[in-house]
Structure 1
């Protein structure tokens, strides 16, 4: 449960870094986004680990599949950022898809965090019920 909250925190940071890179002035455009790009790489790594932890924790098939979906969406981010080019209509479409997909990843991970909390609460309640019966 705490792991999914950490991933949500990294995603919120990612949105903030993107905004900071977009509105800051001076310097090379790529250099302004170094923190955003680096955090994106870390997010990919953390989401790979999240899939493994979700399989171990068994929060339910829905939570596991949504975690995998988040990882796939993060991989797609690179395609959206680079495949459409940097200029003209294609670049604008790529940038818009990149931004919308990023917010989609954040939304999916919030849902995963809620599912993980629900699964943890159910396991605690079941454990408490067993303890009450044996006492």
Structure 2
């Protein structure tokens, strides 16, 4: 199960990188095209909420370590906060700019945390493989 969690976490990291790319893609456009591009960004963000919720469940099942489980739960909470940060401050003026800046910073934070979780998941898989190899090498 640890290997499944590792693969899943890597998949989520790819989606997070895609999400950042979609945000940039929307930011460099104008008019109606900009709205269409941000709809794709918002849609992928909604899917990320679902995928990170599943990640938390998988982390609890796979048991890659307490730190990995807690960081996965933290990133799930942070991704849920994205909508509040994007729209909670309004869309105009300084408050809107602050909200979008916090939205972007929080999104990058989720990516950094998920990279750390992927690293911890890889360590858990490597430890499990080493344990199996040792058991084969030294019969009981």
> Partners of 1:96 and 1:34 in 2: how far apart?
19
TM-score, scaled relative to structure 2 = 0.93
Q: Deviations over 1:111-135 (max 9, x none)?
A: 0000000010001000110111128
Runs of 4+ in 1 over 2 A off after TM superposition: 28-32
> 1:104 maps to which residue?
109
Length, aligned pairs only: 135
- State the 1:24 CA deviation: 1.5
Once the two structures are overlaid, the 10-residue window that deviates more, 48-57 or 20-29, is 20-29
> 1:8 maps to which residue?
13
> 1:114 maps to which residue?
119
SS at match of 1:33: helix
TM-score, scaled relative to structure 1 = 0.96
Q: Does 1:22 align with 2:16?
A: no
Q: Does 1:72 align with 2:72?
A: no
* RMSD value, Cα: 1.2
